[in-house]
Amino acid sequence: MSRFPIWEYDSLTDPKARSVYEEIRSELGFGIVPNLFKSMAIYPGFLEASWNQFRSVILEGSLPRILKEMIGVAISQANRSEYALKVHLHSLSALGISEEVLQMLVLDFANCPLPEREKAVINFGLIAATNPQSLTDAHYQQLHQLGLDDSEIFEIIATACLFAQVNQYTDAIALDIDSL
């Protein structure tokens, strides 16, 4: 049971929160507002800032969104953050990939048949979120050699940090999983 109320659109009185909900519903791609954001409506300023961060990191940029979601699955799995894992798996499923296949890939990441570049990116993101101090020049160099530029590496880190933060937040408030 979530420790904060889950605000539905109709019960919102704050115009800022209402307009953020509308943006999420139209831009996120699932036609719903996830509980993650509904739980933030108690503080519309934070809701707006979080949504803007989510939009710029996940919905914009040049890394494929599917790859960002995979980073999210890997991080949530490592953090054993149930809410985020479910949401990412749902996102990927909405993008056309079955949840079973995704889970299998995450459980046996080393042997998954993704191209070397994708695997390196997911691995980098996972380290950035879970053990950032262990990132070395060699990690950066590897991505450069695989054709990534600084802005793309930044995007991986921004993605990793956002998902780590979401994990902490959703675990801290024991957020209920959306009825998807």
Site residues (CB under 8 A) for other proteins, limited to 15-44: none
Q: Does 141 bind other proteins (CB under 8 A)?
A: no
Binding other proteins by CB under 8 A: which of 73, 87, 105, 162? 105
Closest alpha carbon to 100 in 61, 73, 135: 73
Task: Count the helix, strand and coil residues of the chain and give each as a percent rounded to the nearest 5.
Answer: 70, 0, 30
Yes or no: say if 139 and 124 are a contact pair by the CB < 8 Å rule. Answer: yes
Write down the least CB distance from residue 33 to other proteins, Å: 22
Closest alpha carbon to 30 in 69, 80, 73, 81: 69
> In whole angstroms, what is the distance from residue 8 CA to residue 103 CA?
31
Site residues (CB under 8 A) for other proteins, limited to 52-71: 62-67, 70
Binding other proteins by CB under 8 A: which of 82, 117, 139, 178? 117
Closest to other proteins by CB, 8 or 150: 150
Binding other proteins by CB under 8 A: which of 3, 113, 133, 138? 113
Number of residues that bind other proteins (CB under 8 A): 28
Closest to other proteins by CB, 38 or 68: 68
Binding other proteins by CB under 8 A: which of 5, 52, 104, 165? 104
- Tell me how far CA of residue 134 lies from CA of 62, 78, 130, in angstroms: 26, 16, 9
Q: Does 110 bind other proteins (CB under 8 A)?
A: no
Site string for other proteins, 80-99 (x = CB under 8 A): ---------------xxxx-
Q: What is the DSSP letter of 9?
A: G
Footprint on this chain of other proteins (rule: CB under 8 A) = 62-67, 70, 95-98, 100-102, 104-105, 108, 111-118, 146-147, 152
